[in-house]
């Protein structure tokens, strides 16, 4: 991807709240991802409390379950766009599959971050207004299948990431379904109103979601404690930033803490809880 193309994606995200980055995964990578998702879907379907339903399922912490999913945080053009808005120390919040089955109904418009981010229920003094002056997080959708109006493509309301009130206008006619070929990536500001379309097709729609956040915001999961040591090692030096290890809050006195290492200093190793670091 050229510098000009990256600049154009940044402008679209800034003005419209989203952009589609084409061809970030190859056809072979998408095929392998789909094979692994099918395997995991069947392996986890009967687990107690599994999020497997008649219209779809989710699979979490994919980076620990198949090598192909380590690619999603190793793509320089995507990282360039994310870090332009969230900073060089932006943190990955989750790597999860969303598999939508035929017959799934249209999802209502909503913004992300209602559990851990800026779209949580607000304080009385906020007057129902949310933070939109700065980007605080992004959702990133890897289209493992083609995204079409027939198979549940994500609908986005352009510019809604700047709307100041927390509650979306749910019946707005301005939502547009974002169609994108297999291997593309849809990135959107978590404050943008969005929701899946009705799935009128005849085959499952596969996608991998990778939300990102600013370092100082709480993530959907503590990936620094979840990621397997060998996966973290393969991520290289940036892995400690991406998985939030360098953003870890100290559990010792501040002066005992190695901030870059995300653990107690060597001379206080007896306090180390043995987590990734």
What pLDDT score does 277 carry? 56
pLDDT band at 113 (very low <50, low <70, confident <90, very high): confident
User: Exposure pattern of 46-77 as b/e (b: 16+ CB <10 Å)?
Assistant: eeeeeebeeebbbbbbbbebeebbbbbbebeb
| DSSP assignment string, 87-138 | -TT-EE---EEEEE-TTPPPPPPB-S-TTTSTTSPPPGGGTTB---SS--EE
* 113 vs 225, more confident: 225
The crossing angle, in degrees rounded to 10, of helices 3-16 and 76-86 is 40
Q: Do 132 and 55 lie in a common domain?
A: yes
pLDDT digits (tens, 9 = 90+) for 79-93: 999 999 999 999 999
pLDDT digits (tens, 9 = 90+) for 27-74: 999 999 999 999 999 999 888 888 888 789 999 999 999 999 999 999
Average pLDDT, the chain: 92
Q: Do 235 and 251 lie in a common domain?
A: no
What pLDDT score does 262 carry? 84
- DSSP assignment letter at 30: H
What pLDDT score does 74 carry? 96
Q: What is the number of domains present in the chain?
A: 2
What pLDDT score does 30 carry? 98
Q: Of all helices (H) and strands (E), which one includes residue 15?
A: helix 3-16
pLDDT digits (tens, 9 = 90+) for 151-193: 999 999 999 999 998 888 878 899 999 999 999 999 999 999 9
Q: Do 238 and 261 lie in a common domain?
A: no
Q: What average pLDDT score do residues 121-144 get? A: 90
Structure-token match 């994310």, residue found: 82
Q: Do 209 and 252 lie in a common domain?
A: no
Q: Do 208 and 276 lie in a common domain?
A: no
Q: Do 160 and 277 lie in a common domain?
A: no
What pLDDT score does 180 carry? 97
* 89 vs 117, more confident: 89
């Amino acid at each position: 991807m050229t510098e000009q193309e990256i600049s154009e994606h940044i402008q679209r995200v800034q003005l419209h709240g989203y952009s589609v980055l084409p061809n970030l995964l190859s056809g072979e990578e998408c095929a392998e991802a789909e094979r692994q998702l099918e395997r995991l879907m069947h392996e986890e379907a009967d687990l107690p409390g599994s999020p497997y339903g008649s219209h779809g399922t989710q699979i979490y912490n994919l980076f620990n379950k198949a090598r192909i999913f380590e690619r999603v945080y190793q793509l320089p053009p995507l990282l360039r766009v994310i870090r332009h808005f969230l900073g060089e120390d932006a943190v990955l919040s989750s790597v999860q599959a969303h598999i939508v089955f035929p017959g799934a109904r249209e999802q209502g418009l909503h913004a992300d971050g209602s559990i851990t981010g800026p779209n949580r229920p607000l304080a009385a003094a906020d007057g129902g207004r949310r933070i939109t002056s700065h980007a605080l997080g992004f959702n990133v959708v890897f289209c493992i299948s083609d995204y079409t109006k027939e198979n549940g493509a994500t609908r986005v309301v352009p510019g809604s990431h700047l709307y100041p009130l927390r509650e979306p206008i749910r019946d707005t006619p301005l939502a547009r379904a974002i169609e994108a070929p297999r291997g593309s990536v849809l990135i959107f500001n978590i404050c943008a109103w969005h929701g899946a379309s009705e799935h009128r097709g005849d085959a499952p729609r596969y996608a991998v979601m990778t939300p990102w956040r600013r370092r100082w915001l709480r993530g959907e999961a503590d990936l620094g404690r979840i990621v397997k040591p060998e996966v973290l090692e393969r991520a290289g030096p940036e892995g400690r930033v991406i998985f939030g290890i360098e953003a870890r809050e100290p559990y010792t006195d501040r002066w005992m803490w190695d901030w870059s290492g995300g653990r107690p200093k060597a001379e206080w190793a007896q306090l180390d809880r043995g987590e990734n670091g």
